[in-house]
Amino acid sequence: MPAHTPAPTTPPANPLDRERAHLASSRAALRAMREDVEALDIKDVTGNWVNAAILAREIDNRIKALADLADTPLFFGRLDFLHAPGAELAEGGEAGGAARSASDKGGGGRGAGRFYIGRRHVHDTDGDPMVIDWRAPVSQCFYRASKKDPMDIGLRRRFGYTGGELTAYEDEHLTDPEESTGTSALLAAEIERPRVGPMRDIVATIQPEQDEIVRADVHGTVCVQGAPGTGKTAVGLHRVAYLLYAHRERLARTGTLVIGPNRSFLHYIEQVLPALGELDVAQATVEELVAHVPLRGTDTAEAARLKGDARMAEVLRRAVRSGITLPTEGCVVVRGSRRWRVASYELEEIVRELMDRGIRYGAAQAALPQRIAHAVLVKMEQAGEAPDDRVQDAVARNPAVKATAKALWPPVDPAKLVLRLLSEPEFLAQCADGLLTPEEQAAVLWPKPGRGVKTAPWTPADAVLVDETRDLVERTSSLGHVVLDEAQDLSPMQYRAVGRRCTTGSATVLGDIAQGTTPWSTDSWATALHHLGKPGSRVEELTTGFRVPGEVIDYASRLLPAIAPDLAPATSIRTAADTLTIRRVDGSAAPEEADALDAASALAPATPPALTDAVVAAAQAALRNEGSIGLIAADARVPVLGAALAAAGLPYLDPGTETNAESRLTLVPASLAKGLEYDYVVLDEPAAIVDGEADLRTGLRRLYVCLTRAVSGLNVLHTRPLPEALG
- Report which of 202, 14, 191 is spatially closest to residue 547, judged by C-alpha positions: 191
Q: Are 492 and 309 in contact (CB under 8 A)?
A: yes
Alpha helices, H only, 533-661: 550-556, 560-563, 608-622, 638-647
Q: Which residue has the higher pLDDT, 50 or 219?
A: 219
Cα separation, 487 vs 510, in Å, equals 6
In this prediction, residue 192 carries a pLDDT of 65
Q: Are 155 and 171 in contact (CB under 8 A)?
A: yes
Kindly report the backbone phi and psi dihedral angles of residue 712, in degrees, each rounded to the nearest multiple of 5, phi listed first: -120, -25
DSSP state string for 176-198: -TTSPP---HHHHHHHHS---SS
Residue type, 82: L
Listed in sequence order, the residues at least 6 apart from 32 whose beta carbon sits closer than 8 Å to its beta carbon are 2, 4, 5, 125
Over residues 127-145, the mean pLDDT reads 93
| Residue 518 Cα distances to 229, 297, 301, 323, angstroms | 21, 18, 9, 35
How many Cβ atoms sit within 10 Å of the Cβ of residue 144? 17
- What one-character DSSP code corresponds to residue 453? T
Cα separation, 683 vs 545, in Å, equals 20
How many Cβ atoms sit within 10 Å of the Cβ of residue 353? 12
- Cα Rg, the chain, nearest whole Å: 31
Residue type, 51: N
In this prediction, residue 86 carries a pLDDT of 62
Q: Are 527 and 562 in contact (CB under 8 A)?
A: no
Cα separation, 561 vs 66, in Å, equals 49
Beta strands in 401-505 (DSSP E): 481-484
Residue 367, strand partner residues: none
- What one-character DSSP code corresponds to residue 661? S
In tens, the pLDDT along 600-658 reads 333 333 347 999 999 999 999 999 998 999 999 999 999 999 999 999 999 999 987 87
DSSP state string for 224-290: EEE-TTS-HHHHHHHHHHHHHHHSHHHHHHH-EEEEESSHHHHHHHTTHHHHTT----EEEEHHHHT
Nearest-10 crossing angle of helices 311-321, 414-423: 110
Q: Are 518 and 491 in contact (CB under 8 A)?
A: yes
Q: Which residue has the higher pLDDT, 466 or 106?
A: 466
In this prediction, residue 94 carries a pLDDT of 40
User: For the whole model, what pTM was predicted?
Assistant: 0.84
Residue 163 pLDDT > 80, yes or no? no
| Residue 243 Cα distances to 120, 281, 562, angstroms | 14, 12, 38
Residue type, 726: L
In this prediction, residue 321 carries a pLDDT of 97
Over residues 692-715, the mean pLDDT reads 94
In this prediction, residue 109 carries a pLDDT of 37
Q: Are 563 and 697 in contact (CB under 8 A)?
A: yes
Of 3-7, 20-24, 193-197, minimum mean pLDDT range? 3-7
Cα separation, 456 vs 469, in Å, equals 17
Alpha helices, H only, 597-681: 608-622, 638-647
Residue 595 pLDDT > 70, yes or no? no
Cα separation, 18 vs 720, in Å, equals 60
In tens, the pLDDT along 455-474 reads 999 999 999 999 999 999 99
Cα separation, 132 vs 122, in Å, equals 7
Q: Distance between terminal CA atoms of the chain?
A: 72
| Residue 488 Cα distances to 42, 263, 404, 513, angstroms | 48, 17, 47, 6
Over residues 349-354, the mean pLDDT reads 96
Cα separation, 294 vs 372, in Å, equals 39
Handedness of CA 674, 675, 676, 677 (dihedral sign): positive
Candidate ranges 103-117, 183-197, 442-456; pick with highest mean pLDDT: 442-456
Counting residues of the chain whose pLDDT is more than 70, the rounded percentage is 89
- Report which of 196, 195, 432 is spatially closest to residue 312, judged by C-alpha positions: 432
In this prediction, residue 95 carries a pLDDT of 37
**542: three-class secondary structure by DSSP:** strand
Q: Which H/E stretch holds residue 634? A: none
- Report which of 715, 688, 722 is spatially closest to residue 702, judged by C-alpha positions: 688
